[in-house]
């Protein structure tokens, strides 16, 4: 029976993930063990940042400040009394910066991945825009200027929608249709199962 199993595979073992790789299988024990500390920190950071944005957290902070203010006459508004609120708020702010930044980083990566998926599956969108967040500021300004010029030409009526697509994609769409050349990686990515005609 084991001799038949490899024949049932749709791809050879070295190409299991396809030409562009595959999604990680997060349900396996190996994956959970590999990122156990990171997963725990991620869950902790997510819970703390979600709780910090609730009315309950605001009320707790407000009550702490009110209790500190009411204790002022007791301590004769001394420097030590002021030091308590200064030190406490500094420590909380310092730690919250890292927790909030971790949550924002994760959310940002998730949003970029969703946008990349939309770009990869859309026939009209350019795959060159995938991963554009890794460009430096100067390169991003060049891309923004290119699309601004493209928009101006479209508003002036000098650019049809089909021509705009060709310019934005940076390739001649008729090239793969008219010639018997192998499709580029950009074309192969667009003609996956998600874009197959129903």
pLDDT, one tens digit per residue, over 29-54 is 555 556 788 888 888 999 999 999 99
Q: Where do runs of H (alpha helix) occur along 53-78?
A: 55-70
pLDDT, residue 160, reads: 61
pLDDT, residue 162, reads: 57
CB neighbour burial string for 87-108, b if at least 16 within 10 angstroms, e if fewer: eeeeeeeeeeeebeebbeeeee
User: What is the DSSP-derived secondary structure letter of residue 182?
Assistant: P
* Low-confidence spans in the chain with pLDDT less than 50: 1-16, 171-198
Please give the C-alpha separations between residue 70 and each of 80, 86, 90, 105, 148, in angstroms, as whole numbers.
15, 16, 20, 39, 58
Cα–Cα distance between 131 and 174 in angstroms, integer?
26
The answer for 49, left when phi > 0, alpha when psi is -120 to 50, beta otherwise, is alpha
pLDDT, residue 150, reads: 83
Q: Are 188 and 127 in contact (CB under 8 A)?
A: no
pLDDT, residue 134, reads: 84
């Amino acid at each position: 029976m084991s001799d038949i199993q490899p024949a049932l595979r749709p791809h050879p073992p070295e190409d299991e993930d396809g030409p562009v790789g595959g999604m990680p299988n997060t349900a396996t024990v190996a994956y959970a063990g590999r990122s156990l500390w990171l997963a725990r920190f991620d869950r902790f950071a997510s819970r703390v940042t979600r709780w910090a944005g609730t009315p309950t957290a605001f009320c707790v902070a407000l009550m702490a400040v009110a209790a500190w203010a009411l204790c002022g006459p007791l301590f004769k508004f001394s420097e030590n009394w002021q030091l308590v609120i200064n030190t406490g708020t500094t420590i909380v702010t310092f730690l919250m910066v890292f927790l909030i930044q971790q949550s924002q980083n994760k959310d940002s990566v998730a949003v970029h991945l969703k946008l990349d998926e939309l770009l990869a599956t859309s026939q009209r969108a350019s795959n060159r825009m995938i991963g554009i967040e890794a460009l430096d500021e100067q390169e991003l300004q060049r891309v923004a200027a290119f699309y601004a010029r493209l928009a101006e030409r479209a508003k002036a009526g000098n650019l049809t929608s089909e021509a705009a697509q060709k310019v934005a994609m940076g390739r001649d769409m008729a090239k793969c249709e008219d010639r018997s050349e192998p499709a580029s990686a950009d074309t192969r990515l667009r003609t996956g199962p998600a874009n197959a005609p129903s």
